[in-house]
């Protein structure tokens, strides 16, 4: 079973992480300071990065991927840090572009905003982005808001951007429904597991709870998580990206072991007005890796590796 499926399953088995109040951090080109979004179920915490010498009216909202992935692109499931999203924000700051990245509800500093598992819905993450957009639309410093979603954040941002954002960027975003992806990931399992999971996913996609749960797949289909899966499985990225009537950039690395180039091509086929950029040797955590799978995975916990310059250049060019 691949890492993406494990991430999906472990998303609902969150391990609490400590959160220290961020101090204002100043670089020669940008300044970072804490920012808070107040919601009915608790505060969501983020980091606002603004350039120092350039008066930027552009703001990029960066959305992290699935599982317990924090605002910087790091996950408690892997020892060490890659800092992919932190480095993206820093590079945008160097280019004179403001950004905000945040811990999704239940993650890092925003862990107390988490709903109970039975009450959580995929739309909660979408609504959080919508609230961030509305918050910064009232901020007179910013006249244009761009959504940049990474991995699962691509779909979250895609839905939230419709009718609200000025531009949209998909980074390593899936091109198929979550249910379809999980079916493919389970193809290496026994026929019994495949048959059961296919029927269970079909039921959830139809909005129906699964009553009889195979013990081997209880973590994935347990009753308390099924309402979330129903709310998630109903969305098709190809359908959602068609709805966007704004400039779109689709970015994908060809050395990504979690999301494929085919995914990006499916999004582009659904929305041919977008700009599609495939980056040679870029992996899922936005690093340039040449070599075998072990080297690729090692980069997930190597903060010394920079993110792809070609990707940064593509994003900066698109935003500006």
Q: What is the pLDDT of residues 98-137, one digit of tens each?
A: 999 999 999 999 999 999 999 999 999 999 999 999 999 9
Binned at pLDDT 50, 70 and 90, residue 161 comes out as very high
| pLDDT for the residue 23 | 60
Predicted confidence (pLDDT) at residue 199 exceeds the cutoff of 70: yes
pTM to 2 decimal places: 0.91
Note the pLDDT tens digit of each residue in 213-232: 999 999 999 999 999 999 99
Give 25's pLDDT tier (boundaries 50, 70, 90): confident
The predicted pLDDT at position 41 comes to 92
According to the 3-state scheme, what is the secondary structure of the chain? CCHHHHHHHHCCCCCCCCCCCCCCEECCCEEEEEEEEEECCEEEEEEEEEECCCCCCEEEEEECCCCCECCCCCECCCCCCCCHHHHHHHHHHHCCCEEEEECCCCCHHHHHHCCCCCCCCHHHHHHHHHHHHHHHHCCCCCCEEEEEEECHHHHHHHHHHCCCCCEEEEECCCCCCHHHHHHHHHHHCCHHHHHHHHHHHHHHHCCCCCCCCCHHHHHHHCHHHHHHHHHHHCCCHHHHHHCCCCCEEEEEECCCCCCCHHHHHHHHHHCCCCEEEEECCECCCCEECCCCHHHHHHHHHCCCCCECHHHHHHHHHHHC
Q: What are the pLDDT digits (tens) for 268-283? A: 999 999 999 999 999 9
7 or 214: whose pLDDT is higher? 214
Give residue 67's pLDDT band: very low, low, confident or very high (50, 70, 90): confident
pLDDT at 10 over 80: no
CATH topology of domain 3-177+236-319: Rossmann fold (3.40.50)
Q: Which residue has the higher pLDDT, 54 or 251?
A: 251
List the chain domain ranges. 3-177+236-319, 183-234
Please provide the average confidence, as pLDDT, over all residues in the chain: 91
Q: What is the pLDDT of residue 28?
A: 85
């Amino acid at each position: 079973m691949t890492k993406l499926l494990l991430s999906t399953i472990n998303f609902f088995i969150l391990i609490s992480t400590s959160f220290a109040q961020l101090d204002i951090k100043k670089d020669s080109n940008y300044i970072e300071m804490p920012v808070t979004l107040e919601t009915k179920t608790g505060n969501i915490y983020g980091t606002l990065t603004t350039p120092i010498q350039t008066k930027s009216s552009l703001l990029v909202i960066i959305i992290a991927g699935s599982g317990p992935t924090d605002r910087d692109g790091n996950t408690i499931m892997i020892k060490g840090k890659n800092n992919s999203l932190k480095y993206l924000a820093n590079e945008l700051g160097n280019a004179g572009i403001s950004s905000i990245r945040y811990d999704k509800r239940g993650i890092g500093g925003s862990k107390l905003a988490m709903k109970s598992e039975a009450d959580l819905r995929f739309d909660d993450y979408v609504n959080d982005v919508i609230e961030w957009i509305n918050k910064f639309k009232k901020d007179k410093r910013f006249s244009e808001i761009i959504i940049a979603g990474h991995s699962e954040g691509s779909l979250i941002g895609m839905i939230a951007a419709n009718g609200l954002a000025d531009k949209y960027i998909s980074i390593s975003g899936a091109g198929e429904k979550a249910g379809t992806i999980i079916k493919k990931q389970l193809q290496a399992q026994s026929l019994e597991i495949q048959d059961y999971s296919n029927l269970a996913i079909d039921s959830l996609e139809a909005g129906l709870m699964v009553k009889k749960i195979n013990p081997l797949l209880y973590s994935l289909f347990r009753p308390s998580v099924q309402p979330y899966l129903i709310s998630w499985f109903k969305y098709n990225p190809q359908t959602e990206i068609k709805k966007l009537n704004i400039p779109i950039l689709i970015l994908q690395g060809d050395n990504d072991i979690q999301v494929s180039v085919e995914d990006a091509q499916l999004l582009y086929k659904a929305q041919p007005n977008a700009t599609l950029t495939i980056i040679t040797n870029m992996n899922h955590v936005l690093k340039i890796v040449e070599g075998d799978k072990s080297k690729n995975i090692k980069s997930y916990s190597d903060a010394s590796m920079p993110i792809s310059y070609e990707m940064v250049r593509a994003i900066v060019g698109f935003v500006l």
